[in-house]
Amino acid sequence: MYTKKLDYVPFYMQQWGNYCGAANAQMALDGYPDTSIRVKYDQVSLFNIMKLHNSQTPPDPQHWGGTDPKGMLECLQSLSSLPVDWVAPSGTNVDAAILFILRSMNRTGIPIPALVDGGDHWVLVVGWQTDVEPTDTNNPKLLHVYFSDPDTNGANHTLITAKTWMKHFRAVDRPGTWSKKYVAIGQGP
């Protein structure tokens, strides 16, 4: 079994009902493995940046009350500096999305914001267990996921089975740009 767990990623509870995206960005930006590039922001500032960057392509604005994937991606990228390069390769293949999460985090040690529950909530993937190390040349089997849910009171690095994770990591069920797509935002190749 191969385990990756980012114990250095801090936990922040979301300050208001629709601030799960802002709390995830706060944890991700303050959770880089290289402390020299860590950045601290408050959730209000992050939420406002995300709202500015949220998609304006119809019908997206009427279906996202908080942070959409474009807002999350562009907020993280605008507040990061090289070598950090955030990407969101959302697609309709769940196996490809899982493989992206595993390989990106294994390569960079940077946590991954992911949309769960059909696009209703952002959580931060902070680790996992697989049968083998996820490299560019193999296809590991996901066994467990560690994640931080900003909507819980202090439940940092919760461990769940892959089966339970897959019940929550579902394709977006809202009309628009991300309909029927799995969304995870991490570091590119």
Q: Where are the domains of the chain?
A: 2-187
Q: How confident is the model at residue 82 (pLDDT cuts 50, 70, 90)?
A: confident
Residue environment code for 155-176, b if the CB has 16+ CB neighbours within 10 A, otherwise e:
ebeeeeebeebeebbbbbebeb
179: buried, middle or exposed (CB in 10 Å: 19+, 13-18, 0-12)? middle
Question: Residue 121: pLDDT above 70?
Answer: yes
pTM here?
0.94
- pLDDT (mean) for 60-87: 91
Q: How confident is the model at residue 81 (pLDDT cuts 50, 70, 90)?
A: confident
Cβ atoms within 10 Å, residue 3:
12
Distance between alpha carbon 156 and the CA centroid of its chain, in Å? 15
- pLDDT (mean) for 82-98: 90
Q: How confident is the model at residue 127 (pLDDT cuts 50, 70, 90)?
A: very high
The H or E element containing residue 123 is strand 121-130
Residue type, 124: L
User: pLDDT at position 84, please?
Assistant: 82
pLDDT digits (tens, 9 = 90+) for 22-41: 999 999 999 888 888 788 89
Q: How far apart are CA 120 and CA 153, in angstroms?
A: 19
User: pLDDT at position 156, please?
Assistant: 72
Q: How confident is the model at residue 114 (pLDDT cuts 50, 70, 90)?
A: very high
Q: Domain 2-187 - what CATH class?
A: alpha beta
